[in-house]
């Protein structure tokens, strides 16, 4: 804010200078008429005309300077606000994003902030200029002729009443317009992200119909906002012209009887324009402010959101983790009354390899989300190396845990950049070594530009399996103290998976590791398996121990084995 002070003060100074020059011009016009034109003093007239022209040029210059300085202020302010909004996004938990459309959040950072920029760059200067101009004109008019001054000001209450009525009807329309614009952006974002599914299921026509509905809703709210607010201009012009007629009529009568001169009437005609112009500008600015306020409400709704996950004042800075994990009576709900995890209790020793298995929706990924502290437990405690997970610095904790998700996200850039995302200071040779360990090097070197191949649209130019290999290479490069694999090889063919598993096994050595897997064949060699069902740990033990129990895990394993047998033709008699 300190950087904004100088240009803001300069802008206000330029407004004052241009306003004073603007007030001087009508006075000179009256002087030219009364003292030079009527007496037919042509040389004197031209001299004052040159001075008048100089004043108009200076007014134009200072008007441009005030606008230029205010644009700088507004752009810096909105840049900082946009940065603050993105910083705020980074502090919010996944729960916040789960409940909101991403396109709507994008609209808050673009359209809504841009409406604030428009208001700041134009409105602030105009408000100061209008207030100064109005004050100066009133003083000048009363110094010339108090009767005509009162006549001129008679129409101001009508201005105010008309403006108030229009704003009452348009303010809610502006708020609805910004909300509908956010909905439209959200719909477009979903349409682009899900274009493959739309095409696969042949839903193009339905999506078009839905878009027409959302688009029409925005058109209607925008039309209402602009149409209602658009009445201000014509109404103000009409009132302005009525005031002008009154000035000319009363001024003519006063001139006939010797109470005023032609020059004074001419000055008042100009001053009346300068009275009504700032009032009209202030009225029109209210439209801009309504749009800006509607956008600001949506922006500050996010800014006022309290982070669910945040560091304590004395948070522990993580240097390294041994990987001792303890879940103690952990319960968790995404929504009140809908329990996802119930009394989860287990202890993991440093270096242990743990597998989480169970039906879809049983709570496996939720356990991982709690360990990564994407969410906080509803009740109970999670201890990491003997400390409550809430006592750690969040960013430091997450950096010490490498994770590969089933749904891989790649950023715009090169393949080299995406692997290096695991450790930004890694050399090209370290990136390639990680890719080789992840069995990604083979397909990368056959791409047109190798590691410099551009990744676009979340990696849409690569297959799902290739994206997953890059994500595994990224986790290998990170060389974290703990490792989480959430169906990390689900999109990779069996032969490649065998090769990758060797690299993953080397990566898991000496690290506490959690593996979520549906293919039970891939977790036979882990130290312990937790079977999760309906948010509870139903069974635990090694692969052999769980098979010997002939419980839920045994049924899952047998089911997969039988399905594989049927698929290969060996299970026809089952």
258 sits in the region (left: phi over 0; alpha: psi -120 to 50; else beta) called left
CB-count burial class (<10 Å; 0-12, 13-18, 19+) for 334: middle
Q: Are strands 379-384 and 353-357 parallel, antiparallel or unpaired?
A: unpaired
Percent of residues, the chain, with pLDDT higher than 70: 89
Strand-pairing partners, residue 540, are: 530
Would you tell me how many other CB atoms lie within 10 Å of the CB of residue 433?
16
Placement of tokens 């994500």 in the chain:
471
Q: Are strands 528-533 and 353-357 parallel, antiparallel or unpaired?
A: parallel
Which of 498, 502, 475 lies closest to 486, judged by CA?
Answer: 475
CB-count burial class (<10 Å; 0-12, 13-18, 19+) for 14: buried
For every residue of 416-432, DSSP letters joined together read HHHHHTT-TT--HHHHH
| Residue 573: pLDDT over 50 | no
| Residue 489: pLDDT over 70 | no
Query: Any residues with CB less than 8 A from the CB of 188 and at least 6 apart, and which?
Result: 103, 211
Most confident by average pLDDT, 41-50, 123-132, 483-492: 41-50
3-state DSSP assignment of residue 536:
strand
Sign, CA torsion 428/432/435/441: positive
| Residue 399: pLDDT over 70 | yes
Question: What gap in Å lies between CA 467 and CA 446, rounded to an integer?
Answer: 15
The pLDDT of 529-538, averaged and rounded, is 92
190 and 103 in contact (C-beta within 8 Å)? yes
The count of C-alpha atoms lying within 13 angstroms of the C-alpha of 413, restricted to the half-sphere facing its C-beta, is: 10
538 and 552 in contact (C-beta within 8 Å)? yes
Global pTM reads 0.64
For residue 81, what are its two tokens? 């606000």
The pLDDT of 117-145, averaged and rounded, is 76
In this prediction, residue 1 has a pLDDT band, given cuts at 50, 70 and 90, of: low
| Residue 132: pLDDT over 50 | yes
For every residue of 434-475, DSSP letters joined together read HHHHTT-HHHHHTSTTGGGPEE-GGGTTS-HHHHHHHHHHHH
| Residue 496: pLDDT over 70 | no
Query: Any residues with CB less than 8 A from the CB of 445 and at least 6 apart, and which?
Result: none
55 and 28 in contact (C-beta within 8 Å)? yes
* CA angle in degrees (0–180, nearest 5) for 254-255-258: 85
For residue 544, what are its two tokens? 């052999």
Would you tell me how many other CB atoms lie within 10 Å of the CB of residue 574?
9
In this prediction, residue 201 has a pLDDT band, given cuts at 50, 70 and 90, of: low
In this prediction, residue 570 has a pLDDT band, given cuts at 50, 70 and 90, of: very low
- The pLDDT of residue 189 is 75
Q: To 10 degrees, what angle do helices 124-144 and 42-91 make?
A: 150
Between these two residues, 376 and 195, which has the higher pLDDT value? Answer: 376
Percent of residues, the chain, with pLDDT higher than 90: 11
For residue 164, what are its two tokens? 């108030």
In the chain, the domains with their CATH numbers are 2-303 (1.20.1560.10), 316-399+518-574 (3.40.50.300)
For residue 236, what are its two tokens? 């103000």
For residue 112, what are its two tokens? 């809504």
Q: How much is the mean pLDDT over the chain? A: 81
Question: What gap in Å lies between CA 95 and CA 305, rounded to an integer?
Answer: 12
| Residue 223: pLDDT over 50 | yes
301 sits in the region (left: phi over 0; alpha: psi -120 to 50; else beta) called alpha
- The pLDDT of residue 352 is 92
- The pLDDT of residue 2 is 58
For residue 356, what are its two tokens? 């989480």
400-446 pLDDT tens trace: 888 887 777 788 788 999 899 888 888 999 999 988 888 888 889 88
- The pLDDT of residue 384 is 93
3-state DSSP assignment of residue 387:
strand
- The pLDDT of residue 381 is 93
Between these two residues, 277 and 292, which has the higher pLDDT value? Answer: 292
Question: What gap in Å lies between CA 553 and CA 538, rounded to an integer?
Answer: 9
Question: What gap in Å lies between CA 136 and CA 142, rounded to an integer?
Answer: 10
Helix, strand, coil proportions of the chain in percent (round to 5)? 65, 10, 20
Q: Could you tell me how many helices (H) and strands (E) the chain has, helices first?
A: 21, 12
Long-range pairs of 214-217 with CB within 8 A, sequence gap ≥ 24 = 214/180, 214/183, 214/184, 214/187, 215/184, 217/180, 217/183
- The pLDDT of residue 571 is 41
Read off φ and ψ for residue 308, nearest 5 degrees.
Answer: -75, -35
């Amino acid at each position: 804010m300190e950087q904004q002070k100088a240009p803001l003060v300069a802008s206000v100074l330029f407004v004052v200078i241009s306003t004073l020059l603007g007030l001087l011009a009508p006075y000179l016009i009256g002087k030219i008429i009364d003292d030079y034109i009527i007496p037919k003093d042509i040389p004197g007239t031209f001299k004052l005309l040159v001075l008048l022209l100089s004043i108009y040029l200076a007014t134009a210059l200072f008007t441009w300077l005030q606008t230029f300085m205010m644009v700088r202020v507004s752009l810096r302010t909105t840049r900082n606000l946009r940065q603050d909004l993105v910083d705020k996004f980074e502090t919010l938990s996944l729960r916040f994003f789960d409940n909101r459309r991403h396109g709507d959040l994008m609209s808050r950072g673009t359209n809504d902030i841009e409406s604030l920029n428009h208001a700041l760059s134009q409105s602030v200067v105009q408000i100061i200029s209008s207030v100064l101009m109005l004050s100066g004109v009133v003083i000048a008019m009363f110094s010339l002729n108090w009767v005509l001054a009162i006549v001129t000001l008679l129409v101001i209450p009508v201005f105010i009443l008309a403006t108030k009525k229009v704003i009452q009807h348009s303010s809610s329309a502006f708020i609805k317009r910004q909300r509908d614009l956010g909905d439209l952006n959200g719909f477009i974002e979903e349409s682009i992200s899900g274009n493959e599914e739309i095409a696969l299921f042949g839903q193009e026509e339905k999506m078009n119909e839905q878009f027409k509905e959302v688009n029409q809703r925005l058109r209607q709210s925008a039309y209402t906002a602009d149409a209602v607010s658009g009445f201000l201009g014509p109404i103000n012009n009409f009132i302005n012209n009525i005031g002008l007629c009154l000035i000319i009529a009363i001024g003519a009568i006063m001139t006939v009887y010797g109470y005023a001169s032609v020059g004074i009437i001419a000055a008042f005609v100009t001053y009346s324009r300068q009275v009504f112009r700032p009032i009209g500008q202030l009225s029109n600015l209210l439209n801009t402010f309504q749009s800006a306020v509607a956008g600001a409400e949506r922006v500050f709704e996010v800014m006022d959101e309290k982070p669910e996950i945040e560091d304590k004042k004395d948070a522990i800075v993580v240097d390294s983790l041994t990987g001792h994990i303890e879940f103690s009576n952990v319960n968790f709900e995404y929504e009140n009354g809908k329990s996802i995890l119930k009394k989860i209790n287990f202890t993991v020793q440093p270096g242990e390899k743990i597998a989480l298995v169970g039906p879809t929706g049983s709570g496996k990924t939720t356990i991982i989300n709690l360990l990564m502290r994407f969410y906080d437990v509803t009740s109970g405690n999670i201890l990491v190396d003997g400390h409550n997970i809430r006592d750690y610095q969040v960013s430091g904790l997450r950096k010490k845990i490498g994770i590969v998700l089933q749904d891989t996200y790649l950023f715009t850039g090169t393949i080299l950049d995406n692997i290096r995302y695991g450790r930004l200071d890694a050399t090209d040779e370290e990136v390639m070594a990680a890719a080789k360990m992840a069995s990604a090097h083979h397909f990368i070197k056959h791409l047109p530009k190798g590691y410099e191949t551009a990744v676009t649209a979340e990696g849409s130019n690569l297959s799902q399996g290739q994206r997953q290999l890059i994500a595994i290479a990224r986790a290998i490069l990170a060389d974290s103290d703990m490792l989480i694999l959430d169906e990390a090889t689900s999109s990779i063919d069996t032969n490649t998976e065998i090769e990758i598993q060797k690299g993953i096994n080397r990566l898991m050595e000496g690290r506490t590791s959690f593996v979520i897997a549906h293919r039970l064949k891939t977790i036979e060699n882990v130290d312990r398996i937790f079977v999760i069902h309906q948010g509870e740990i139903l069974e635990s033990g090694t692969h052999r121990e769980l098979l010997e129990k002939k419980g839920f895990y045994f049924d899952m394993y047998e089911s997969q084995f039988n399905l594989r047998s049927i698929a290969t033709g060996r299970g026809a008699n089952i």
